[in-house]
């Protein structure tokens, strides 16, 4: 590998990763060793050569919005494309919601479902017909989910906007569930990143880095009546 390629990898990946991090490994172990330090520990297992792909540095970003019109706190999951609740049932995360199927085509049966709208928004409808919406400003959210089945992105920081101050206390969990069933959860609290001297009262910038792909996503409890925006700032992208 030439020096230029090595520098590109270093700028796109995390400082704690080895230069050859650009190889997929189903047993890769992502762990937090503190609230401000995210380390990747590589396993010693063999790596499938067919999955090898290089990280490319990027300064791209996108915004995901969440509007909770359900009259209660609702736990949601952003990303996790391969196991997203709109595609397959997740009784742990959404015990009362199921993916929308042909049998739900009658309006009365659309309650208690997770479904995509025609514009790509994800709609969670409770038993009474109230909804929570997840959307993306730059591209349809469904398109974003589908793309992350084939791409891995490195998020360097996340700017979160919210309506009500108590939302800051709801932890965000970075969850990984691999094809073979390994499950890992790492949690950070937005309030920790709120600076005493900042003048913006309705946003916080989380500097915790993490990786998102088809097997990785974020879970958060969204308070009743809350409107949130997640601005994801990237520093690397890799084709899986």
Cβ–Cβ under 8 Å, residues 43 and 29: yes
Taking residues 80-96, report their average pLDDT. 83
Q: Looking at residue 223, what DSSP letter applies? A: P
- pLDDT score recorded for residue 43: 42
Whether 215 shows a pLDDT value over 90: the answer reads yes
CA distance 202 to 2: 45
- Residue 135, classed as helix, strand or coil, is strand
Average pLDDT over the chain reads 80
Whether 163 shows a pLDDT value over 70: the answer reads yes
Query: For the stretch 227-237, what's the b/e string if a residue is b when 16 or more beta carbons lie within 10 angstroms of its beta carbon?
Result: bbbbbbbbbbb
Lowest mean pLDDT among 33-42, 85-94, 118-127, 171-180: 33-42
Lowest mean pLDDT among 15-24, 49-58, 102-111: 15-24
Residues across the chain: 240
- Residue 108, classed as helix, strand or coil, is helix
Taking residues 179-189, report their average pLDDT. 89
User: What percent of the residues of the chain are helix, what percent strand, and what percent coil, each to the nearest 5?
Assistant: 15, 40, 45
Taking residues 159-180, report their average pLDDT. 93
Taking residues 192-208, report their average pLDDT. 89
CA distance 199 to 184: 35
CA distance 148 to 80: 8
- pLDDT score recorded for residue 222: 97
Q: Is the pTM of this model over 0.85?
A: no
Q: Give percent of the chain above pLDDT 90.
A: 49
Q: How many other C-beta atoms lie within 10 A of the C-beta of residue 28?
A: 20
101, burial (CB in 10 Å: exposed 0-12, middle 13-18, buried 19+): exposed
- Reading the block at residue 46, the tokens are 């063999």
Cβ–Cβ under 8 Å, residues 53 and 238: yes
- Reading the block at residue 124, the tokens are 């969670």
Helix (H) or strand (E) holding 116: strand 113-116
Taking residues 1-26, report their average pLDDT. 43
Lowest mean pLDDT among 10-14, 83-87, 183-187: 10-14
Q: Looking at residue 80, what DSSP letter applies? A: -
Count, in order, helices (H) and strands (E) of the chain. 2, 16
Whether 158 shows a pLDDT value over 70: the answer reads yes
Cβ–Cβ under 8 Å, residues 68 and 225: yes
- List phi, psi (to 5°) of 168: -60, -25
CA distance 55 to 239: 8
């Amino acid at each position: 590998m030439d020096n230029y390629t090595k520098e590109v990898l270093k700028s796109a990946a995390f400082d704690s990763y080895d230069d050859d991090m650009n190889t997929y490994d189903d047993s890769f172990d992502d762990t937090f060793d503190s609230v401000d330090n995210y380390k990747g520990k590589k396993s010693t297992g063999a790596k499938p050569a067919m999955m090898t792909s290089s990280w490319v540095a990027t300064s791209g970003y996108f915004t995901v919005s969440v509007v909770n019109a359900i009259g209660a706190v609702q736990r949601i999951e952003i990303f996790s494309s391969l196991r997203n609740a709109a595609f397959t049932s997740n009784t742990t995360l959404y015990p009362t919601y199921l993916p929308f199927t042909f049998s739900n085509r009658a309006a009365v049966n659309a309650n208690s479902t997770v479904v995509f709208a025609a514009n790509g928004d994800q709609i969670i409808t409770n038993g009474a017909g109230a909804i929570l919406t997840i959307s993306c400003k730059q591209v349809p959210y469904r398109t974003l989910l589908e793309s992350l089945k084939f791409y891995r992105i490195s998020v360097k920081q996340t700017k979160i906007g919210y309506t009500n101050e108590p939302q800051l206390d709801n932890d965000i969990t970075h969850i990984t569930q691999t094809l073979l069933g390994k499950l890992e959860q790492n949690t950070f609290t937005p309030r920790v990143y709120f600076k005493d001297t900042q003048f913006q009262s309705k946003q916080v910038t989380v500097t915790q880095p993490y990786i998102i792909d088809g097997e990785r996503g974020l879970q958060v409890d969204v308070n009743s009546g809350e409107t949130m925006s997640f601005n994801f700032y990237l520093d690397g992208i890799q084709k899986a």
